Amino acid sequence: MLISVVTTLYRSSPYLEEFYRRTLEAVRQSAGSDLAVEFIFVDDGSPDDSAVKAREFLKRQTPATLVELSRNFGHHRAILTGLSFARGDLVFLIDCDLEEPPELFAEMFHTLEQTKHGADPADVVYAVPHRRKGGSFERVSGELFYKLFNVLSDVRVPNSWMICRLMTARYVRALLAHHERELFLGGLFGITGFRQVGITADKVHKGSSAWTLRRKLKVALQALTAFSARPLWLLAGVGTLISGCSAVAILYMIVRVGVFGLPYQSGWASTMVTISFFGGLNLLAIGIVGLYVAQVFAEVKGRPCIVKQVRANFEREATAPAPGSTTGIPGNGTIAVGSTSVEIVARSGPPVVSPNGDTARSAGSRPASEPRHA
């Protein structure tokens, strides 16, 4: 079994050597000699000498890959790029700044192995901190954001999730089938599906972070607009409610004057009712247009329908990749995205076909998950 350790580099130079040593030790102690390890480092345009230090790991015996991006594309895009180069049966994603202890691999690996004995094995084990880092404002605002996100979206995201997680190869392939550019990785982790198990862990706060308030607000807006159209429905609903109430008030004024002969209500009341009526119509119209734009937005994203497993009582051939499921990556040729694979099982039981599952391999061959995301 091959374990791919994926991490990103941004001002990471002081931590790399210790991260490399502790991670390698944690992986080897957890699974013994039957486990092979590879490292994938993604330099996300780091302004320090992180890439230079990472090149030293290429001279060592343990397989390692250094992916240098042309500039800073952001943490989440760098993560997906690194995952696309992972070849392992299991992928251990973790930040290298040591806020998340590499020793978490042991508990995650043990948890993942335990679920294999159940009816529904897990594909992801992720970490949730015991206590959200930062001051009172950061903790409260973070809790409010995730509560609002979970209310407005059909995707459920843990209130305090960590990057650190252990994933199967088939989950990673399914995750990489998404082609979004403005990323909220927490939402993608959830919308990909599969069974995901959370464990609690301690997260150390090193005192500084590249995630400024401005960047957090930007990611929050991206997350809400990318995973929820409910604000548009609310806008249309509010517009309808305002226009309806204003129409009832206008009808009341007309009946009051025309039927009962009472004095006309001039001044503030009639003016506000008229303004509210047309203002509500404007909100309704904007909401309707927004709903159509949301439909176009969803179509452009082209989020895949991910097949976890197919069961049949006869042997099946591998399903061909969906039309248009390839993408060109400069320097790496044309790579299949979301291609399927088949595991042939004995006829004594129902054959299992795993379109997003583990690829059938000959004895001694190494797993391969080709780069598909740039």
Q: How far is CA 106 from the centre of its chain?
A: 23
Strands (E), the chain: 2-9, 36-43, 64-68, 90-93, 124-129, 165-168, 196-201, 310-311, 326-329, 333-336, 352-353
pLDDT grade for 133, boundaries at 50, 70 and 90: low
**What CATH number is given for 2-227 in this structure?**
3.90.550.10
Separation of first and last alpha carbons in the chain: 26
Answer yes or no: pTM beyond 0.75. Answer: no
Q: What's the confidence (pLDDT) of residue 373?
A: 46
b/e burial code for range 217-237 (CB count within 10 A of at least 16 → b): eebbebbbebbbbeebeebbe
**Which residues, in sequence order, are CB contacts of 348 under 8 Å at separation 6+?**
none
pLDDT band of residue 284 (cuts 50, 70, 90) is confident
Where do you find CATH 3.90.550.10 in the chain?
Answer: 2-227
Output the CA torsion sign for 71, 72, 73, 75: positive
pLDDT at 146: 76
Residues with Cβ < 8 Å from 335, sequence gap 6 or more?
326, 327, 328, 329, 370, 371, 372
Average pLDDT over residues 177-205: 84
Of 9-13, 80-84, 242-246, the poorest mean pLDDT is in 242-246
pLDDT of 160 above 60? yes
Structure confidence at residue 134 (pLDDT): 62
Taking 80 as the threshold, does the pLDDT of residue 58 lie above it? yes
When pLDDT is cut at 50, 70 and 90, the band that residue 167 belongs to is very high
CB burial readout 173-208, b (16+ within 10 A) else e: bbbbbbbbeebbbbbbbbbbbbebbebebebeeeee
Q: How far is CA 290 from CA 101, 207, 287, in A?
A: 44, 41, 5
Closest Cα to residue 15, out of 221, 208, 147? 208
Between 327 and 96, residue with greater pLDDT:
96
> Is the pLDDT confidence value at 72 over 70?
yes
